[in-house]
Amino acid sequence: MTTVASQPTPNAQRPSSNFETKVTRYDQVSSLLVALVIMVGFFAGLLFIIWLTRVITFKPGLPKVVAIQDLAGRGAAAEGVARDIEEPGVEELPDVPQPQLADALEAMTDAISTTRGVTNAFQGMASEMGTGSGQGDSRGAGPGGEGDLDVIPPWERWQIKFATSSAEDYGKQLDFFKVELGAINRNTPNVDYARDVSTAPKKRKGTRDQEPRIYFVHTASGALVGLTRQLLEKAGIATENRYLAQFYSNEARAQLEAVENAALGRRSLSTVRKTVFGVRPAGSGFEFFVVRQDFIPGT
């Protein structure tokens, strides 16, 4: 018997299954839970940030200490008659009538007063002032040329005020800035130093011509002079008939320069006539701050 396979007709329909897709209740609940988790996490993070801003306080850092190089030069200082290229001849002198006796006495008084004032101006207490035996300033001109270095030096420009009422607090401020007290002999170049005056004072001897640091003397008598004298005598240093001075370390000088520059803003240092500093507590120590700055009129 022969079996013949029947071929499916092209139009024959195959059985099919239809599936309906829709959002089930499981999907709704799971998506709701995911949304709630995201919302709770967002608000928890927001509350954590708010808590951090209340707990953690950000304090400004210390001012950056910028070392300012002292440019060597005469600047606007007068050269002096000793550096004149050529003395004037007799033919250049104008004819001057003979003065009367009263005019001659007045001119002599003015000449003596002027000479005395110049002599006093040369007797500065800062060791970094120009020295020399000639008449006039013998230092070379600054990098900008004659008369361009027109900055008042710090020992003439600075004034430092200490606000304290006890020798102990005053000594702590000096020791924090590594400032040495000194008693300068009026007749000889000898200097007696004292450091660590708030704890165990240590003293030593030296001379003014070997002192490279900048130092200041008291500008007026008062309570601070008495405290300085008390600390020096505590270290076993005689203070009678002596200049009482503060000798500043290079670190303290750099801090003063940085604070002064920060207070200047956009003004030039050549416009400053005087900078008055103060001392105030800061953290576990002290810091310098600018009380006021006086500027040269017209600058």
Check residue 107 and give its pLDDT.
56
Q: Is residue 70 part of a domain?
A: no
Q: Is residue 276 part of a domain?
A: yes
Q: Is residue 174 part of a domain?
A: yes
Q: Is residue 196 part of a domain?
A: yes
Check residue 259 and give its pLDDT.
94
Q: Is residue 68 part of a domain?
A: no
Q: What is the largest CA-CA distance in the chain?
A: 173
Check residue 122 and give its pLDDT.
29
Is residue 212 within 8 Å of residue 250, measured between CB atoms? no
Q: Is residue 241 part of a domain?
A: yes
Check residue 91 and give its pLDDT.
54
Check residue 220 and give its pLDDT.
66
Is residue 277 within 8 Å of residue 291, measured between CB atoms? yes
Q: Which domain holds residue 284?
A: 159-295
Check residue 120 and give its pLDDT.
29
Give the chain's domain count: 1
Check residue 121 and give its pLDDT.
28
Q: Is residue 92 part of a domain?
A: no
Q: pLDDT averaged over consecutive 10-residue blocks of the chain (299 residues)?
A: 55 62 83 92 91 72 49 51 52 56 56 37 38 48 49 88 87 93 90 92 90 82 84 92 91 93 90 92 92 89
Q: Is residue 54 part of a domain?
A: no
